[in-house]
Structure formats: structure tokens, C-alpha cells
Structure 1
Amino acid sequence: MLIVAPNTVLNPAALETRQVPKKIFGRIAVLPRRAGPAAWARIALDVQILRYLVALAPFVLAMAIWPRLAFPIAQAPILMVLLVGVVEMRVLRPTKAGRARLIDADAAERGLDTLRFRARAALTRIAARKGIEQERLHLVVEQSELARVPPLTLVSVQIDGPEPRLLPLDAAERAILSDGLFDAELTERDLLRINLREESFLRDVSLEARAVSAHARLAARMEAARAEAAE
């Protein structure tokens, strides 16, 4: 899971938006400030042109090994298109029938209920910590459509209002998301199965900031005070 916020990416200007929820996959490149080699490799896998190059690598290799076949291979674009299509639609994505078998409808609805409950709890804590009182917050969970590779999940907190935007999140707020959304009961892979079944890869859970209770705001202030004292 990657938490996307103006202070967690190398290209914050790309996060500017005129409306929320802002869709990220297929529109902007996510360049996290802190990510290991595995995370960067997974991000690269979602770049379509790079996947095409990987799919066509056998043709390039064949031309390198058997130079006399270079011209005939180069004259076979239909085979290349077919190979790319097989990789994209059969290897990396399940068929329509396969999507229906990933998870049953009842389990999918239970998973979405769990996500909504956890998302609202996280939004409540974040709104209380930041002292947001009037606007509507959105917790947006977006996943890559690629099925047979590790899930790539982007999570952001977005604000609707006169100035729609993605919120910057400090370490404690990022921990609220990373610790509170997924666990053994609902994993990122579970959510991907649900999304593949329903062919919907962006989940948006909203919360009116004015609905955050005084108790939650007091608890947030006490938590912040304890964190400052610990430092």
C-alpha cells in the first residue's frame, strides 16, 4: 500500500485537482519519496509501455540470436499484437468467468462493509487531529487492475470544498491508514478480488467533518499531546 499525499511523493504538483475523488491510475505517475526496489518494480509494472516491451522481448531475443530472422519477424506485427493481447488480457487479467469465481457476492459485500467502517474510523481520527470542522473528507482507495501480480494499492485523503485537494499527512496520520485499513481479515488481495469481480477499482468513502464528535476531537488532542511529550 502506498499512501499518496503532497508530502509523500516527488511530484506533488501532479496531485492538484479540481474535483474529488481524484483518479490516479492511468492519469499521473506516482513517484513515492520513500520506496524500496520491490515497490518501484511494482510501480513500473503498471506502466503500459514497459509491459508491452516485456511482452515483445521474445521477438527481440529471437532477432538477436538468429539475425537472418530479423526481417521476417519485423514483418509480423499481427503476431506481436496477438502476444501483447494475450499477456494483457489473459496472463495479467482474469477472464469474465474467472472474475466471478474469485469471491462470492456475500463475501464481497462483507469486505466492502469492513472497508467502509475502517475508512470512516480513519477519517474521523484524521479530521480530529487536523482540526477540520466544515469540509467533507474522502478516503480514496484505488487499486491497479493487474490481477496475477502483487496488488498495488494507492490510498489518499482528499477534501471536497471550494479548494479540492489531497491532504498532506504526517507520520502519525499515515500510521492511522497503514495500520487501520488492512489486516488478516481484509487484505489488499481480498479487496483486489472484490474489485475484479465488480470491475470497479476506485473505492471512495466520505465523511462530513462536522459529524466528528467532540469526544473524538478531544481524544485526538490528547493523543497529540502524548506524542509531543514522548518526543
Structure 2
Amino acid sequence: MFILTPETIWNPHVLEMRQVPRRIFGRVMIFPRRGAGVGLWARLIFEMEVLRYLLALVPFLVLAVLYPRYAGAIAQAPLPMLVVIYFFEAKVLRLPREQAKRLAPAAEVERGLDLLRVRAVAVLGKIAAGRGLAEGRLHLVVEQSDLWRMAPLTLVSVQAEAGAGQARPEVLRLTEAERGLVAGLFDADFSERDLLRINLASNDCLRDVAFDVRGVSAHARLAALLG
């Protein structure tokens, strides 16, 4: 999981938004700041479609090297290349739709989404209480890559509508303590892979949990103040 805030990436301008939720995958490329592991960098780079297409076309390059007399013919065969790219993207990296539906039954999808909602509301409530917000709506946005046969890549951010202490919608800057709250969203009982199964089964990899900060209890506000 990568917690997405202006402080955790080198190019925070890509987080500018007009409405909540702000989508990332397939729209912009993010560059994590120092501290991001090689695995995260590799996984983010692999999300670039152009690089995956080039990887799928490696067999054609190998054939052109092994059989140089046919290199011209190989280079001028776009249809087989398109077929290979499609197979690699749709069959190797992703699951066919019917197979994806069988990853999780409807009851499991509902239970998983309910658990995500409960945890997200708890996180947003603590963030709102800690900031002393009195009105507006916060959103905990969880977006996952739909590549099933790769390690799950999950981007989590807290986004605020205009009016939630903000002049316009934006991805919030989170303190270290707030990022610690968000980091507890997943655990051994409900992992990123569990959510990915649910998302693929229901064909929706963007989850947006909204929270009206007026719902923060007086007890939570007092606890935040004392803390």
C-alpha cells in the first residue's frame, strides 16, 4: 500500500483535482519520494502500458535477431503483434471477466466492503477530530491496479470536498500520525489481496468512502484534544 499525499511524491501537481474522487491509474504517473523501496518503484513502472507492450513484443525482437533475413517481414506484421499484446494484457496479467466474478461470492463482497467502510470511517473520524473540523466531507479513496497476476498495488488517499476546511477539492496533506492511522487500513484479517479479489469480482477497483465530519462524536473530539 502506498499512502498518497503531496508529501509522499515528487510531483504533487498531478494530485490537482476538480472533483472527488481523484483517479490515478491510467491518468498520471506518480514518483515516490525517498524511502520508497525498489519493489514499489518496479510495480509503479510496470503500470505504464507502453512498457508492458514492449515486454510483450520481446519474442518478435528475439526472432528478428535469430533470423535476420526475416527481420523486415517480422517488423511489418502488426496484426500478430496486436494479438500478442492483447493476449498478454487480457489473459496473462488480468483475469477474464467470468473468471474474475468467481474470485469472491456476493456475500463475501458485501462483507469485505462493509469492513472497509467501517475501518475507513474510523480513520476519517480520527483525522477530522484531530484537525478540529466542524463541517464538510472527507473521503478515504482506495484505488487498486486491476493486474491480478502481479503483487497488489494499492493507492490510498484522504480527499476533501470543497468546504471541508478547503477552498477547493484536494488530496489532503497528512501528518505522520495521520499516515499511521491510514496504514492500519489493512492487516492479516483483511489484506490488499483480499480487497483486490473483491474489486475484481465486482468489476470496480476504486473505492470511495465518504464521511460527514459533523458525525464526529464529542468524545472523539475530546480524545483528540487531550491526545
Superposition TM-score tier, normalisation by shorter sequence: over 0.9
Matches of 1:105 and 1:169 in 2, distance apart? 34
Picking from 191, 195, 199, the partner of 1:195 is 199
Give the equivalent residue in structure 1 for 2:215.
Answer: 211
Displacement after TM superposition at 1:66 (Å)? 2.4
Give the TM-score normalised by structure 1: 0.93
State whether structure 2 residue 22 is matched by structure 1 residue 17.
no
Cα RMSD of the aligned pairs, angstroms, is 1.1
| Partners of 2:84 and 2:226 in 1: CA distance | 58
Q: How far is the alpha carbon of 1:11 from its aligned partner?
A: 0.7
1:6-45 correspondence to structure 2 within 5 Å: 6-33=6-33, 34-45=35-46
Query: Would you identify which runs of 4 or more consecutive aligned residues in structure 1 move more than 3 Å?
Result: none
TM-score with structure 2 setting the length: 0.95
> 1:65 deviation in Å?
2.7
Task: Please give the alpha-carbon distance, in whole angstroms, between the structure 1 residues aligned to 2:69 and 2:222.
Answer: 75
List alignment gaps of at least 5 residues for structure 2: none
Counting matched residue pairs gives 222
Cα displacement string for residues 45-81 of structure 1 (whole angstroms, at most 9, x for unaligned residues): 1111010011011111221232222112112111100
1:221 Cα deviation after fit: 2.5
Q: 1:16 & 1:75 partners in 2: Cα distance?
A: 42
Q: Distance in 2 between matches of 1:39 and 1:222?
A: 37
SS of the equivalent of 2:209 reads strand
After superposition, residues 1-231 of structure 1 pair within 5 angstroms as 1-33=1-33, 34-161=35-162, 162-179=167-184, 181-223=185-227
Flag structure 1 segments of 5+ consecutive residues without an equivalent: 224-231
Task: Please give the alpha-carbon distance, in whole angstroms, between the structure 2 residues aligned to 1:32 and 1:15.
Answer: 13
- 1:31, 1:129 → 2: CA distance? 29
Q: Give the percent of matched residue pairs that are identical in Structure 1 and Structure 2.
A: 51
CA distance in 2, matches of 1:221, 1:10: 32
